[in-house]
Amino acid sequence: MKDDITSKYEHKADDLFGTLEILRIILDLDKFQAWFSKSYQKDTSVLLEGYKLFLETALRTFFYEIDSDWSLGLKEDAIFYRAGHRGINLDKIPNTCEKVILIKNLDSMRRDIRNSRNFDELYPLTQKVRTELLARFVPIYDMFVEDNLGFGKDNALRYAAMFQALIFFSDTSKKIPKGYYLFSQVESLTRKQYNASFEGYKYTLQFLWESLLEKESKPEFISEMITAKDWSIDLDVDFEKLDESLEALKESPGEREDLDSYFGRINEGLIKPLEKRLKFKFISQTLLSIKTKPPKEIFGSLLNVPKMVELSEQEKLNCFLLWYPIDYRDSSKGGVFNGSLMLMSLIAGFSEIKVMDNVDSKVQVCKFIHPVGWAKDKNDYSYGILIESYGTFGSDFSGWIMFYDCCGDYSGFSGTEHMQIEAIIDSYKKQGLVELRQMTIGKSRLRKYIAKSVVGEISTKIENELEKTSTKNKELSIVKDARGLVNELFSYYILSKRDGYDVDWNVHASGKQIDIRLENDAEVLLIECKVDPNNLDLGDELQHLKERLSRTDTEKKKRGIFWFWAKPSDITIDRIEKEGFTCEIIKNLIQKDRHISKKKLDTLRYVLNYKGTADREDSFDSDMGIPRSM
């Protein structure tokens, strides 16, 4: 559902076509030079720099209007939006949407205009803008733009151009036209170049206003515009003279000699009387609208994808992460506040919040794929989730939480974590709640980037911590896999002592692996051995055991049993039994078996109770009485 702002401006075309009308007027270079020569009998060379500045201001204003426009139906994306928010140079923005492509194609013309050295070089460039920009928008104006208030479409267009001329070309209070710095993602002139452009700019501004008022009587102050001596008045920011500065601002525009004073004169002498006569307000009403989006073919070469400059790896990563700041979590520390469990909880939590709040935007998740090198098609993974936080007036305090090197796809425990993360991402993607961005990059390169990017931290310290995290994660993954193997072998040892059964370990049949298989004349038992019943996907394990039983070809009775090292919860036991399976707790079997209970099992208990967080007090189960140092 569109918000109120979108609904209000979805069809509004005043500002866009008002700017195009200004471009149409000033791009008629022959008419402008003839007007100047007739009115002032001066050499037109004095106009060059100011005319170029005026034309560049018009193009930059048009870029801004394209950026803000909804009426044309041009697509934009998060990359373009964030690049604008962060002021990223246009050349550094990938060609990912129609708006950035169109603006880039026009910006190449702007640069050529800026670099022209005389009117002979400039003239063909103005014709190019007329042909490749204005001519493309003429059929859009003719076929799709509508007069919204009954003034007549051409009159409405002229009024819209007058308001744009006031706001973005006559306001020079910052010693540069306001329209010039609306779109700040291209290079700007120096102060010396601004000042050198002043004379030509004020003549061009006068020509624009006289052209807009061609069919009406012109106020005397329009012809006086060329007497201005500077862009604007200088205000002393000395707090002891603050009252004097404020009084200077209150001074009547007619008593000032700066170009910016004509903003007030035009507003009071032209715009407000026009609003009163027509009984409407520029700021709150729409003069021109587009109700039907024009076809994309009408834009022609303006939507041809331009050549992209080569970005550095730092720039590519900045873009991939939408120029947001980042923080990271050490996924090697274990517990619920780090690693894959925290990541999955955040993805699920923010997705559900989007549903509750009826928010259209998606949860942003990024995935970095790290090829391991020693095995084909095997990878480690880092993930990130964007924590969104917005303030008033468009402020954006969002940032990424990165989970560096938190899992891999080539070992048991780490592989399970990877599958769980991917499953939850896929689930919310299918619901339209998550957008996944992914990139393949070497682990050390991402580590260096994170180290440089984390706010408020020392780069080398973070890089060392992340390297330790990566090493510790691999060690913990191996330890966890080894615990599972030790548990299987110990279970096999216990079962091998039972009379009347043939026992086999790590059996592969019909593409499925079975931890332990027992068989006698009457029955076949398939046993799955797990260390921690509270740290597995029970649904998957139950399904796998069902499939293994169904693929066991025998006329004998078949049973499935789970052997857990630690005690499962009552809920887990109930669920297992409802599926027709049983479970055994290995700790209890040890205590009941008089042969095994006599053996020294401290080291075995130590390994199987190890949680992978040796720096924490809860690293081992207290009920086993295992010392915390060996």
Return the pLDDT at 607.
Answer: 57
For the chain, the domains span: 4-303, 313-472, 497-599
Residue 602 has pLDDT above 80, yes or no: no
Find the range with the poorest average confidence among 543-547, 599-603, 624-628.
Answer: 624-628
pLDDT confidence of 564, banded at 50, 70, 90? confident
- Name the strand (E) or helix (H) holding 555: none
Q: Which among 15, 31, 14, 13 is positioned nearest to 179, based on CA atoms? A: 15
Q: Is pLDDT larger for residue 541 or for residue 76?
A: 76
**Using 50, 70 and 90 to split pLDDT, how confident is the model at 38?**
very high
pLDDT in the model for residue 72: 97
pLDDT at 217 over 90: no
SS3 of residue 590 by DSSP: helix
Which residues, in sequence order, are bridge partners of residue 558?
524
User: How many residues appear in the chain?
Assistant: 630
**Six-digit token pair at 143?**
């076929």
CA end-to-end distance (rounded Å), the chain:
63
pLDDT attached to residue 335: 47
Q: Give the three-state DSSP class for 533.
A: coil
Residue 447 buriedness (CB in 10 A; 0-12 / 13-18 / 19+): buried
**Nearest partner of 90 among 64, 70, 65, 71, judged by Cα:** 64
pLDDT surpasses 70 at 606:
no
* Whole-number Å distance between alpha carbons of 414 and 416: 5
3-state secondary structure of 73: coil
Looking at the predicted structure, is the pLDDT value of residue 3 above 60? no
Is the per-residue pLDDT at 129 higher than 70?
Answer: yes
- HEC string of 283-323 equals CCCCCEEECCCCCHHHHHHHHCCCCCCCCCHHHHHHHHCCC
- Contacts of residue 352, Cβ cutoff 8 Å, sequence gap at least 6: none
Alpha carbon distance 469, 316 (integer Å) = 24
Reading the block at residue 300, the tokens are 């022609």
Question: Which fold is adopted by the domain 497-599?
Answer: Trna Endonuclease; Chain: A, domain 1 (3.40.1350)
Share of the chain above pLDDT 70, in %: 81
Residue 507 pLDDT: 76
* Residue bearing the bigger pLDDT, 26 or 583: 26
CA-to-CA dists, residue 9 to 21, 41, 109, angstroms? 20, 45, 29
| 2, pLDDT greater than 90 | no
> What percent of the chain has pLDDT above 90?
52
Q: What is the pLDDT of residue 544?
A: 85
> Which residues lie below 8 Å from residue 380, measured CB to CB, with a gap of 6+?
370, 372, 405, 407, 408, 443, 470
Burial of residue 253 (number of CB atoms within 10 Å: 0-12, 13-18, 19+): middle
Rounded (10°) angle between helices 48-68 and 98-115: 180
pLDDT tens sequence across 254-313: 678 899 999 999 999 999 999 999 999 998 899 999 999 999 999 999 999 999 999 999
**pLDDT confidence of residue 529:** 85
Instruction: Report pLDDT digits (tens) over 338-369.
Output: 578 889 999 999 999 988 888 888 999 999 99
- What is the rounded distance in angstroms from the CA atom of residue 573 to the CA atom of residue 408? 30
**Using 50, 70 and 90 to split pLDDT, how confident is the model at 245?**
low
Strand partners, 559: 525
Q: Which of 289-303, 309-323, 569-583 has the lowest mean pLDDT?
A: 569-583
According to the per-residue pLDDT averaged within each range, which of 316-320, 371-375, 445-449 is highest? 316-320
Q: Which residue has the higher pLDDT, 512 or 572?
A: 572
